[in-house]
Amino acid sequence: MKLQALVNKTKVEIDLPGVSEEAYKAAAVRIDTALADHGIKNREVICKAFLELLKLCPAANASDLWHHIVYRLYCEIFPKHRNQDPKQSWVRASGEALETALELIYMPVLAPHKIQIQALVSREQKSVALAEMGLAKKVGDSKLDVVLRVDSGGLWQIFGGAHVKASLAERVSDDVPASRAMMEAGYFSPLWTLDVKSFPPPQGDLVNRGELGTPQEPSEKRKYVESHGDFDNCYTANARSTPSSAKTNSGKRIVSVSPATQPDQFALDVIEKAAEWKAKKSGPMTIVAPKK
């Protein structure tokens, strides 16, 4: 479909391949209905709208669904139901919404392998997970978004955790020390992103090209992975992001994923890393999987 948007007093037509008018209208209805119910948290509104769009538009660019549909509809409809600034509400709620979405997307494909994926929404959850990993004194308790556990002989072990960013403009450098500490301790520490970035008119055309650049002309964000190896790969759900070449200086890569089609490469790599962790039979353990 072609989405008509008014940005900076300029009418812009945004091409959204794989998105139907019916799906767009369904997303608008879902967001409107959910925001009208004040018992539903803002992050839940965003998360559920995104997940529904992934189901209705599996061939679409997941990053575009988030950036051009969920974000724009949320900000447009929000003032009708809730007395807050919509953009400030989005800033506060969207990060947790994406982390929760990852949990719900990957849980069904990981569960048969006795792997748990859990969004760490509260500071207490983050602190508990980092303490289990033996990293509480090395890493700030806000520097882990999603934790990964595997059932090894009836004992649930943390074997890694993902750093989740809708946009790489969200100071991904702040996550580097935590990621390095995790990798040094033997944990799987990937970066998962929608790599959202577009430029509005008059200079830009609103095409969501992301911030990773290319292997030939890498951005600083790409260098975190390919040159410095600050993360165990970067999994990007922006179809316009350019994946890494076969080899990189660090051995870590930019990998394209499609969350609407499972198992994607992130899920496959998580399964592989869990198996490697179990084979080592080492690492901090927790007897009971934490309740949400």
Residue 281 is predicted with a pLDDT of 63
Domain boundary among 92, 117, 148: 92
- As a whole number of angstroms, the distance between CA 67 and CA 71 comes to 5
Based on the fold, state whether residues 48 and 122 are members of the same structural domain.
no
| Structural domain containing residue 59 | 2-92
Give the model confidence (pLDDT) of 247-282 as tens digits.
Answer: 999 999 999 999 999 999 999 999 999 999 999 865
Give the model confidence (pLDDT) of 66-109 as tens digits.
Answer: 999 999 999 999 999 999 999 999 999 999 999 999 999 999 99
Arithmetic mean of pLDDT, 26-30 = 98
- As a whole number of angstroms, the distance between CA 178 and CA 67 comes to 27
- Is a pLDDT exceeding 50 seen at residue 243? yes
- For helices 21-36 and 71-81, the axis angle rounded to 10 degrees is 30
Closest CA to 198 of 233, 158, 142, 240: 240
Based on the fold, state whether residues 115 and 37 are members of the same structural domain.
no
Give the model confidence (pLDDT) of 97-145 as tens digits.
Answer: 999 999 999 999 999 999 999 999 999 999 999 999 999 888 877 679 9
Choose between 213 and 142: higher pLDDT.
213
Residue 130 is predicted with a pLDDT of 93
Based on the fold, state whether residues 51 and 168 are members of the same structural domain.
no
Return the SS3 of 152. Answer: strand
Based on the fold, state whether residues 187 and 73 are members of the same structural domain.
no
The answer to whether position 216 is within a domain reads: yes
Based on the fold, state whether residues 157 and 257 are members of the same structural domain.
yes
Cα 7 off chain centre by: 26
The answer to whether position 291 is within a domain reads: no
Based on the fold, state whether residues 80 and 135 are members of the same structural domain.
no
Q: Please tell me the total count of domains within the chain.
A: 2
The answer to whether position 103 is within a domain reads: yes
Based on the fold, state whether residues 268 and 126 are members of the same structural domain.
yes
- As a whole number of angstroms, the distance between CA 123 and CA 142 comes to 6
The 8 Å CB, 24+ separation contacts for 1-8 are: 3/68, 3/69, 3/72, 5/68, 5/72, 5/206, 7/200, 7/201, 7/206, 8/200, 8/201, 8/202
Domain boundary among 65, 92, 119: 92
Based on the fold, state whether residues 202 and 116 are members of the same structural domain.
yes
Based on the fold, state whether residues 108 and 141 are members of the same structural domain.
yes
